Amino acid sequence: MTGTRLTAQSLTLAYEDRTVVEGLDLEVPDGKVTVIVGPNACGKSTLLRSLGRLLKPKRGAVLLDGTELARLPTRRVAQVVGLLPQTPVAPEGITVADLVSRGRQPHQRWWQQWSETDERTVAEAMERTGVAELADRPVEALSGGQRQRVWIAMALAQDTDILLLDEPTTYLDIAHQVEVLDLVRQLNRERGRTVVAVLHDLNQAARYADHIVAMKAGGIVAQGAPADVVTAELVQEVFGLASVVVPDPVTGGPLVVPGPPRAVAVPGQAVRDS
């Protein structure tokens, strides 16, 4: 690992005339697991897309090692930053092994299309994500959970210093969610990879993150260690949810327990509890 750093300075992101993120500053802690949380449509995925150079800033910049991301060669960015988007689409008819192998493209040259390192990295990525036995199956024939694990394997095969994951547990049952997040943590601990993930589950974020970024309405409300960020006050401010934060019986970190049910208005009926 080199001293790779990913930062955002005065970042404003928009889709045509609709501004989603405005004036945001962020420094991604190097060699740590950062998790971005927040309500729907707050700009989490938009920010991650910008960090992966999939979305050009309207104003401000994303910097990699102090250089504006947009000014770096595409191959250089792909060798350092890997991104798993929220809803990736596989080419029709492609097999699992072929899709995972595409993660090696940034590391290849015209005079060396495939190497033993490529072969070893792809095989390890498939083993780690539990899809090795699916190698010859068409991706389109897999279940949603299997497909998600294949995409994660491709991201791992890219073997980058920085890994960006947008809702990596989508479509996965609870057991596979834990497996994937344990794998992300293992990659970070054993190989020093910097990970930035968007998660909806605040308790998963608190359990696996070293650094949490809480967003609301296109800005950062709070960031820091889970114990400092995940409080009942923050949950109320960001999610509008009354809760109690107690120690996680496994990790000792913060665990969010929703508070009393809120009254819900039903048309034509008296207000009832949810």
The pLDDT, as a whole number, for residue 262 is 63
Q: How far is 2 from 27, CA to CA, in rounded Å? A: 16
* Residues in Cβ contact with 83 at an 8 Å cutoff, skipping those fewer than 6 apart: 48, 49, 51, 52, 54, 155, 164, 166
Q: pLDDT, tens digit, for every residue of 116-130?
A: 889 999 999 999 888
Q: Is the pLDDT of residue 264 over 60?
A: no
Average pLDDT score over residue span 87-103: 91
- Per residue in 133-192, pLDDT tens? 999 999 999 988 888 889 989 989 998 899 999 998 887 889 888 888 998 898 899 888
pTM of the model: 0.86
pLDDT class of 274 with cuts at 50, 70, 90:
very low
H-helix segments, 74-143: 74-80, 96-101, 116-128
Residue 109 C-beta-side C-alpha neighbours within 13 Å: 3
Is-contact 150 134, C-beta < 8 A? yes
pLDDT for 39 beyond 70: yes
Q: In this structure, what token pair is assigned to residue 153?
A: 């394997």
- φ, ψ of residue 146 in degrees (nearest 5): -65, -45
**Position 214 pLDDT exceeds 60:** yes
